[in-house]
Amino acid sequence: MIAGLLVGLAVLVAHPPPARRRWRALRTGTSRPRPDPSAAGALLLPLAAWVVFGPAGAVLAVGAVPWLRARLSSLESERDRRRHAAALRQLPVVLDLIAAVLEAGRGAHEAVRIVATRTDPPVGDELVVLAHRVRIAADPIAAWRALDGTVLEPLGRAVARSERSGAAIAPLIRETAREARRRRRAVRREIVARVGVRTAAPLGLCLLPSFVLVGIAPTVIGMLATFRP
């Protein structure tokens, strides 16, 4: 029973909070830091093994902790990679929508807020946070520049460039959207090329036996037949 409670606690710690709570945290700009799932698993696994198998199980579980942490970290990194890829797919359309709202006469903050309410995650969540930060920031330009390193970095650069040069912001965001599409096509071509390289070895292994049987084996058999008395 105690082991089940420990495992349940590990799952509870590793499981993300409900979507409604995350949405409220994004809207208010405040969120409580979540415990590290790998650290929780590293702590609870030896305890559960101690309860179930005794000291020997705890020792073995301690030896398995690095493997557990590596597995949990790889799952987190894979989830982040998929989220980032989904955000890159959404970005050009989102930028076009923001530019359309700007061309309708709204300000940059208002355009982001309007588009955020009609955009699915993950970019929709990022826009909600951005709109909140720009609204409460003493220096809105600093909030836009704080997007460096995120998927919305091109948007922040376009707004900052417009503020520095005085150029119209909507055409800059349109050009940013076109650049995002070109970058996305380049990423797709790279993925396709990588798939071709990765499939070459399995394909060669599949064709090698047939090549040996059809091309080499008859030649070898014929040569051996000539040496028979």
Share of the chain above pLDDT 90, in %: 22
The whole-angstrom separation of Cα 169 and Cα 166 is: 8
**CB-hemisphere CA count at 13 Å for 71?**
8
Question: Which one is predicted more confidently, 180 or 18?
Answer: 180
The whole-angstrom separation of Cα 229 and Cα 226 is: 8
What pLDDT is attached to residue 27? 42
Asked whether 152 and 127 are in contact (CB, 8 A), the reply is yes
Read off the pLDDT of residues 18-44 as tens digits, 9 standing for 90 and up.
444 444 444 444 444 455 555 555 566
What pLDDT is attached to residue 172? 93
What pLDDT is attached to residue 199? 80
What pLDDT is attached to residue 144? 87
What pLDDT is attached to residue 58? 64
Average pLDDT, the chain: 76
Q: DSSP per residue over 85-133, as a string?
A: HHHHHHHHHHHHHHHHHHHTT--HHHHHHHHHTT--TTHHHHHHHHHHH
What pLDDT is attached to residue 167? 87
Read off the pLDDT of residues 54-98 as tens digits, 9 standing for 90 and up.
776 666 666 666 666 666 666 667 777 888 888 889 999 999 999
Is the pLDDT at 156 greater than 50, yes or no? yes
Asked whether 69 and 99 are in contact (CB, 8 A), the reply is no
Considering 14-23, 30-39, 118-127, 158-167, the range whose residues carry the highest mean pLDDT is: 118-127
What pLDDT is attached to residue 18? 45
Share of the chain above pLDDT 70, in %: 66
What pLDDT is attached to residue 22? 47
Give the helix, strand, coil percentages of the chain, each rounded to 5.
85, 0, 15
Q: And the tokens for 11?
A: 């799952």
